[in-house]
């Protein structure tokens, strides 16, 4: 088996993902080799259906790879079952999605604190409070998602992702549901939070302007890496 890079934040070798049914398999990832070093800011570009979300699902442990080897923040994801991946994800990976995915019955502070409470962090509430201050929502902590604008909801989602101080943050089209001005502010915040916490940031985007702000741009096409450019 090929040897991965132990010092990398993400190290993948010949990663494959095949879904569908045994009689009609669909090859989605066709052999991804990738090393991302700690602190890198990476944009993942590619046409619709090229496999961006699938690659993120595998790199975050939400989906098991069909083949190949994968190490993420020092954990070997290759041979883990779903429970193992869920455990490994906790504390290692923060995720920000296009549709925010906040729990509607919880206030902003509860949305940020609850995952940390479930992970057994004693100071979850204090951390959540400080993180909401850091994203400029100190005055909206007790508000429910429906009482917040889209940009404010995405700030809560960013606070939720970064509060446990994961070494890796993944964002899938984080500005896709926001107007241009709000989207710019959200990207500034995401970059600042990643920089301030020392996290590696991996952003899926269709936005070329956003990609240009990233130190490295990886383009995926038909389940393979088509180009990989570091500035
Ligand atoms: N469960 C599944 N079974 C079969 N095919 C799937 C499954 N999930 C995704 N696919 C296919 O895998 C391919 C890659 O999908 P993916 O969502 O990763 O692409 P993407 O690059 O993120 O696209 P977009 O930019 O539109 O979100 C698509 O052709 C999709 O139809």
The answer to whether position 25 is within a domain reads no
Residue 159 inside a domain? The answer is: yes
Q: Which of 18, 28, 58, 223 to mutate to test the pocket of ligand 1 (most atoms within 8 A of CB)?
A: 28
Q: How many domains does the chain have?
A: 1
* Residue 9, phi then psi, degrees to nearest 5: -75, -40
Which residues' Cβ are closer than 6 Å to ligand 1? 19-20, 26, 28, 46, 48-54
- Please state, for a pLDDT cut of 90, what percent of the chain lies above it: 71
How far is it, in rounded angstroms, from Cα 230 to Cα 221? 18
92 lies in some domain: yes
- For the cut 90, the answer to whether the pLDDT of residue 179 exceeds it is no
How far does the centroid of ligand 1 lie from the alpha carbon of residue 143, in Å? 35
Range of the domain at 51: 38-65+81-230
pLDDT tens digit string along 90-119?
Answer: 889 999 988 888 999 999 999 999 999 988
Model pTM? 0.91
CA of 52 to the centre of ligand 1 (A): 8
ipTM of predicted assembly, 2 dp: 0.93
In this predicted model, what pLDDT tens digit does every residue of 121-132 receive, in sequence order?
899 999 999 999
Nearest in space to 81 (alpha carbons), one of 59, 57, 65: 65
Residue 183 within a domain: yes
Q: Is residue 205 part of a domain?
A: yes
Beta-bridge partners for 18: 27
Residue 33 resides in a domain: no
Over 60: is that where the pLDDT of 2 sits? no
Residue 4: per-residue pLDDT? 62
CATH number of the CATH domain containing 201: 3.40.50.300
pLDDT at 3: 56
Q: Is 14 left (phi over 0), alpha (psi -120 to 50) or beta?
A: left
pLDDT in tens, 37-75: 999 999 999 999 999 999 999 999 999 999 999 999 999
Which residue is closest in CA terms to ligand 1's atom 7? 19
The ligand 1 atom at the shortest distance from the C-alpha of residue 55 is 18
Residue 104, domain member (yes or no): yes
Q: Which residue has the least CA distance to atom 17 on ligand 1?
A: 53
Q: For a substitution probing ligand 1, which of 43, 47, 51, 65 has the most ligand atoms within 8 Å of its CB?
A: 51
Q: Give 93 Cα–ligand 1 centroid separation in angstroms.
A: 22
Distances in Å between the Cα of 102 and the Cα atoms of 109, 173, 178, 180 are 11, 16, 16, 22
Does residue 186 lie in a domain region?
yes
State which ligand 1 atom lies nearest to the alpha carbon of 56. 18
How far, in Å, from the CA of 221 to the mean position of ligand 1? Answer: 12
The rounded distance, in Å, linking the Cα atoms of 177 and 154 is 9
Paired tokens of 40: 């890198």
121-148: burial string, b at 16+ Cβ within 10 Å, e else? beebbebbbebbebbebeebbeebbeeb
């Amino acid at each position: 088996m090929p040897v991965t890079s132990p010092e990398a934040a993400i190290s993948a070798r010949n990663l494959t993902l095949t879904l569908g049914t045994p009689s009609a398999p669909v090859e989605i990832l066709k052999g991804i080799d990738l090393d991302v070093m700690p602190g890198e800011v990476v944009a993942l570009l590619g046409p619709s259906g090229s496999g961006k979300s699938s690659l993120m699902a595998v790199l975050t442990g939400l989906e098991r790879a069909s083949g190949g080897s994968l190490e993420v923040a020092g954990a070997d994801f290759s041979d883990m079952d779903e429970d193992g991946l869920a455990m490994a994800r906790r504390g290692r990976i923060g995720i920000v999605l296009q549709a925010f995915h906040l729990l509607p019955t919880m206030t902003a502070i509860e949305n940020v604190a609850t995952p940390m409470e479930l992970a057994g962090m004693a100071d979850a509430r204090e951390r959540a409070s400080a993180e909401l201050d850091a994203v400029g929502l100190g005055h909206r902590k007790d508000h429910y998602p429906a009482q917040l604008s889209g940009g404010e909801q995405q700030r809560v989602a960013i606070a939720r992702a970064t509060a446990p101080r994961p070494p890796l943050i993944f964002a899938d089209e984080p500005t896709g549901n926001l107007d241009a001005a709000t989207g710019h502010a959200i990207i500034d915040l995401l970059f600042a939070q990643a920089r301030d916490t020392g996290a590696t940031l991996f952003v899926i985007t269709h936005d070329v302007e956003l990609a240009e702000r990233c130190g490295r741009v990886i383009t995926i096409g038909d389940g393979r890496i088509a180009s990989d450019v570091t500035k």
